């Protein structure tokens, strides 16, 4: 069973690994001289890939601290950032030159609000 204490760590591990993998893949494909966004919709432009890479690394590093408060703070920061990223992607065509389109917005619409939901659940006092 996923508890309020384990939920944040599971989320940070799963999404951190996903973002790390996507960010690395996007940058590696770019390093080979290919356009990652054209190669597959799963890979992004360099700035977007770098954002994913940085968040992925940060989330995984947070897990090494074994600090529930830091886990929750990271969830909140990530959730707010990605909901903002979603809003920006919906309001501005290719914000800051990033190739953010429908599939990227759909991903942001899942990971951002889900982080906030996990954060809210994690803040609840443990039931006895």
Per the prediction, the chain carries an average pLDDT of 88
Burial class (CB within 10 angstroms; exposed 0-12, middle 13-18, buried 19+) of 113: middle
The confidence score (pLDDT) of residue 15 equals 98
The confidence score (pLDDT) of residue 128 equals 46
Mean pLDDT of 65-85: 96
The confidence score (pLDDT) of residue 36 equals 57
For residue 24, how far is the Cα from the chain centroid?
Answer: 14
Instruction: Please give the model's pTM, rounded to 2 decimal places.
Output: 0.87
pLDDT digits (tens, 9 = 90+) for 7-35: 999 999 999 999 999 999 888 887 887 76
The Cα–Cα gap between 95 and 110 comes to 19
By percentage, how much of the chain surpasses pLDDT 70?
86
Mean pLDDT of 97-115: 91
Angle ∠(84,40,116) on CA atoms, nearest 5: 25
Split at pLDDT 50, 70, 90, the class of 119 is very high
């Amino acid at each position: 069973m996923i508890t309020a204490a384990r939920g944040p760590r599971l989320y940070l591990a799963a999404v951190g690994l996903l973002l790390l993998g996507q960010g690395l893949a996007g940058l590696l494909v770019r390093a080979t001289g290919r356009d990652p966004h054209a190669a597959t919709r799963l890979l992004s432009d360099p700035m977007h890939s770098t954002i994913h890479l940085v968040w992925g690394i940060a989330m995984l590093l947070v897990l090494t601290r074994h600090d529930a408060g830091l886990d929750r703070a990271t969830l909140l920061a990530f959730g707010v950032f990605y909901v903002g990223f979603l809003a920006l992607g919906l309001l501005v065509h290719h914000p800051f030159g990033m190739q953010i389109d429908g599939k990227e917005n759909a991903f942001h619409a899942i990971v951002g609000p889900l982080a906030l939901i996990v954060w809210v659940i994690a803040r609840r006092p443990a039931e006895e």
